[in-house]
Amino acid sequence: MPPDSSSGSHPDAPRLSTEDRAQRVRFRRAVTLMVMTLVVPGSAQLMAGNRRIGRIATRVWFAVVTVTLLSALVAVFAHSFAFWVASNTLLLGLLRLGLMGLAVGWALLFMDAWRLGQPLGLQRQQRLAVVGVNGLLSLAVAGSLLFGAHMVGVQRQFMLTMFGDGAVVGAHDGRFNILLLGGDSGAGRWGLRPDSLTVASIDARTGKTVLVGLPRNMANFPFAEGSPMAEEFPRGFDCDGCYLNGVSTWAQDHPELFKGSDDPGVNATVSAVEGITDLDINYYAMVNLAGFRNLVDAVGGVELTVRDRIPVGLPHDSFFRWIEPGTRTLDGMDTLWFARAREGSDDYSRMARQKCVMNAMLQQVSPETALRNFEKIAKASSEMISTSVPRGEVGRFVDLALKARSQKIATVSLVPPRINTADPDVELIHSLVADAIDRAEGESPAPAPAPAETEDTGEPATSEAPAEEAPAPAEAPATTPAAPPAAPPSMTGGSLGTLKDGYVANDSEDLGAAC
C-alpha cells in the first residue's frame, strides 16, 4: 500500500508525529490569538477566554474607533473643532488618562492572549517565538499609546503655562488687534523696555492681517482716553527723555496709579498704543527676543533674503561674525541678529527686517513642521512668550493664522519720513492706520503714485499722445539706442529703501514681495 500523502508532503519526507502536528496547531493558535488582540482587543477572549472581559474590551475598542473616526471627519470639515480639542485643558487631561488606561488594558489583553495560547505545551523554539512576538506587540502598542499620552500632556502643560483664563474680548469693527511686544528678558526686567512694538490687526473673518509698526523712540504721544496714563499726562507723554519704550518702566515705578493691575507696565503700554493708533487692543503677546532663537531652532531655521552683510554680535564679542548676502536658511542665533542688528543701520531699517522675519515665520512654519517638532516648539514657546490671549481663544487665532498664510500681509509704520517721531501728528497717524486697514479690507483703493514732473516745465508728465500727433515715420532708424540700465534700488542696513525715503517693508501692500 503506498504511503499516505494526503498532507501534501513529499513521499520521502519524514512523517510528523501526532504530537508534532498538535504542537503546530497550538503554535498557530497562539499566534492567531495575539494577532486578534492586535486588530480587535478582546476578540481573543471572546473566542477562547473570559467572554465577559472580551465583550467589555471589544465594546471599548469600537467606541474608541468610532469616536476617533467621527472626530477626524469633523476636524477635516471644521478645523475649529480640532483647535478647540487641542486647547481645552480639561479634555486634554481626560484624553491623557484615557490613553494611559488603554495602554495598560491593551498590554494586559496581550498577556492574557499569551496565556490562552498555552505556551507550556509548545516546543522550546515555538515558545520563545511566541514570547518574542507577544512582547514586541505589547511594547509597540503600549509604547505608542503612552507616547501619545506624553504628547497630550505636553500640549496640556503648554496651554496651562502660556495662556490664562482671562476674559474673552470680542472683535472691534470686525478685527482683532494684538499688540506684539519684543524685549530682552532677565531678572526683574521681563519686557520692561520693549525693543519692538507692532500691532497685528487681523480680520476676524478672513485672517487678512495689517502690521502697524511703532518706533520705540516716539515721544509726545497721547494715551487712550480715561486711562490712568492719560490722567497723569493729559498733554501727552512729554516728560524729559520719555519715549514709547519707556512707558512700561515709568508705570512699573508708579504702581499706585494702576490699582488691581497685575502688570502696570503692559497696561500703560497698551493705553499708549491705543492713543497713538486709535485702535482698541484686544490682547497682547510679549516675546522674549533672547528666547526667540530657541523657537527658530525648534522649527529647523527660517529662510530669509539677506540683502547686505548683517553683523552677528558686536565687534568685541568672541562670536562676532557676518551673515553674508543671499537667500539662506538662518538658525536661531543668526535670525535673532538679523532682526536686531543696528550696526551700519538705523532703527527703522531694523523695524523693516523684523517685519520680514514675522512674515517668514508665518509663511514657513507649516502645520506639518509644527507636528514634527511639537515638543521642542511647545517648550521654546513657553519660555519665549507671555500673553493675555485666553485658552478659549487659541483655536480661533490658529485658524486665522492658517488663513493668513495664503494672503498678502500689509504693513504701515509710523516712522520718518511721514511721521516725525519727536512730535508726531496724531491725526495723520490715525488716518494712515485707518487707510491701511480699509485697503486691506478692499474698501479703499491703494494710493496712486505721485505724478512725475518734466525736467523743463515742472508739469506732470503723461503717457497719452497729443490729440493731433503726427504719424510715425514709415521707416524706423537702423539702430535704436539701448535704454540705460535701471539704477539698483537704494538699500540701508539690509532693507530696501533709505531713512530719507522710507523702507519698503515698513509700508507695503505685500510684505512678502518687499522682503
Question: What are 396-443's pLDDT values in tens digits?
Answer: 898 898 888 889 999 999 999 999 999 999 999 999 999 999 999 886
Burial class (CB in 10 A: 0-12, 13-18, 19+), 91: middle
At 416 the three-state DSSP class reads coil
DSSP letters along 3-46, please?
PP-TT---TTSPPPPHHHHHHHHHHHHHHHHHHHHHHSTTHHHH
Verify cis geometry, omega within 30 degrees of 0, for the bond prior to 417. Answer: yes
Full 3-state SS string of 225-274: CCCHHHHHCCCCCCCCCCCHHHHHHHHHCCHHHCCCCCCHHHHHHHHHHH
Angle at 359 between CA 357 and CA 364, to 5 degrees: 95
Residue ranges of the chain with pLDDT lower than 50? 1, 5-8, 186-191, 448-478, 480
Residue 88 identity (one-letter amino acid): N
At 348 the pLDDT is 94
State how far the Cα of 212 lies from the Cα of 435, in Å rounded to an integer. 12
**Beta-carbon count within 10 A of 316 CB:** 6
Cell numbers found for residue 158? 503648554
At 344 the pLDDT is 79
Angle at 201 between CA 395 and CA 291, to 5 degrees: 70
Residue in this structure with the C-alpha cell 502536528, named with its chain if needed: 21
Helix (H), strand (E) at residue 284? strand 283-288
Tell me 485's DSSP state. P
Taking CA atoms, 194 is separated from 16, 261, 288, in Å, by 84, 19, 10
Contact (Cβ atoms closer than 8 angstroms) between residue 425 and residue 418: no
State how far the Cα of 431 lies from the Cα of 413, in Å rounded to an integer. 12
CA 404 to chain centre: 11
What number does CATH give the domain 175-443+505-514? Answer: 3.40.630.190
Nearest to 312, CA basis, from 330, 294, 292, 300: 330
Question: With the CA atoms of 216, 220, 221 and 223 taken in that order, what torsion angle do they form, in degrees rounded to the nearest 10?
Answer: 110
Nearest to 389, CA basis, from 192, 191, 162: 162
At 331 the three-state DSSP class reads coil
**Domains in the chain: boundaries:** 18-162, 175-443+505-514
Residue in this structure with the C-alpha cell 525648534, named with its chain if needed: 298
State how far the Cα of 210 lies from the Cα of 441, in Å rounded to an integer. 10
At 342 the three-state DSSP class reads coil
Residues with Cβ within 8 Å of residue 89, at least 6 apart in sequence: 156, 159, 160, 391
At 447 the pLDDT is 52
φ and ψ at residue 33, rounded to 5 degrees:
-65, -40
Contact (Cβ atoms closer than 8 angstroms) between residue 320 and residue 341: no
Tell me 408's DSSP state. P
At 83 the pLDDT is 83
Sequence-ordered alpha helix ranges (H) in 78-222: 79-87, 89-116, 124-162
Contact (Cβ atoms closer than 8 angstroms) between residue 176 and residue 189: no
Report the number of secondary-structure helices (H) and strands (E) in the chain.
17, 13
pTM for this predicted structure: 0.77
Contact (Cβ atoms closer than 8 angstroms) between residue 412 and residue 213: yes
Residue in this structure with the C-alpha cell 539702430, named with its chain if needed: 479
Contact (Cβ atoms closer than 8 angstroms) between residue 442 and residue 174: no
State how far the Cα of 82 lies from the Cα of 85, in Å rounded to an integer. 5
